[in-house]
Structure 1
């Protein structure tokens, strides 16, 4: 079993409470998702995210291939972290941790995603393509968040796709 890992850390010059409020509002997800992903929420959304919340949507990760995706917020501990896990969708396994911590002048956010592709071992042939696509999605998100909130100078950042095991 091949488990892939993507990690990105970004610091924004906003208070922890403001960062949490933005990310805890599920209606903001389309704002930080690249338009070419064809992201469309297909379930009603509450005003605020909570553990046990189910969200369904469609995405078009590659041209002409719309995919239904259902995730569940499995854990949420305001304002420190929440976890979304795929219940059905394009991955064999998807576990996404959203971590928040207060730093001097703002909030540091870390996304830590572990995922497994379907159809192993054949999926190893497309793994580099998936890794690039995910890196592009998170790069878009980074840009949108910096445009919206600014950039915390002197903060660590970066990260990217990788593998775990």
Structure 2
């Protein structure tokens, strides 16, 4: 199985407290996800992130096809990082680390995603043709949305 890596870094003009409050709330995921994804949380307990939390979604990443996706928040270190991992969904592997580091001017946020696709060679072709570009589009949108929320003040 081929494992891919996507990493992004963004500087946020906010305190670590404000930044953590926003990103540790699953309710805010939709605010930083493109509308074209049809992202909808279908089940979660309404609490801020904690280790063991299960969040279920429906997403439409391609051609309007609705997919169910279940993630678990596996590790949370308050105001430093959290990790979400897919339990059920479109990927053979999805491991997403979110790091938050206070700086002189706010917070440095680093996302590191390791992912793999099912179907062997066909999955590798799908990554080259579609998935890699779709993830870039999603993370580019996220940068723009986070800038509008935090960096336009």
Task: Give me the TM-score of the superposition, normalised by structure 2.
Answer: 0.96
Residues 54 and 73 of structure 2 are in contact (CA less than 8 Å); yes or no, is this contact kept in structure 1? yes
1:59 is aligned to 2:76: no
CA contact (8 A) 2:72 2:86 kept: yes
- Aligned residues of 1:94 and 1:113 also touching (Cα < 8 A): yes
SS of residue paired to 1:41: strand
Which residue in 2 is equivalent to 1:139?
140
Distance (whole Å) between structure 2 residues aligned to residue 147 and residue 91 of structure 1: 30
Q: CA deviation at 1:123?
A: 1.0
- Count of residue correspondences: 152
Rounded to whole Å, the distance in 1 between the matches of 2:25 and 2:64 is: 29
Structure 1 gaps, min length 5: 152-165
Q: RCO greater where, 1 or 2, for CA within 8 Å and sep 6 or more?
A: 1
Contact 1:12 1:149 in 2 (8 A): yes
Q: What RMSD in Å do the two structures reach over aligned CA positions?
A: 1.3
Per-residue deviation at 1:93? Answer: 0.3
CA distance in 1, matches of 2:126, 2:24: 32
Q: CA deviation at 1:64?
A: 2.4
Instruction: Indicate the structure with greater helix content.
Output: 2
Deviation at 1:47, TM superposition (A): 3.1
TM-score, normalised to structure 1's length? 0.89
Give unmatched runs, 5+ long, in structure 2.
none
CA distance in 2, matches of 1:24, 1:114: 20
Moved over 6 A (4+): none
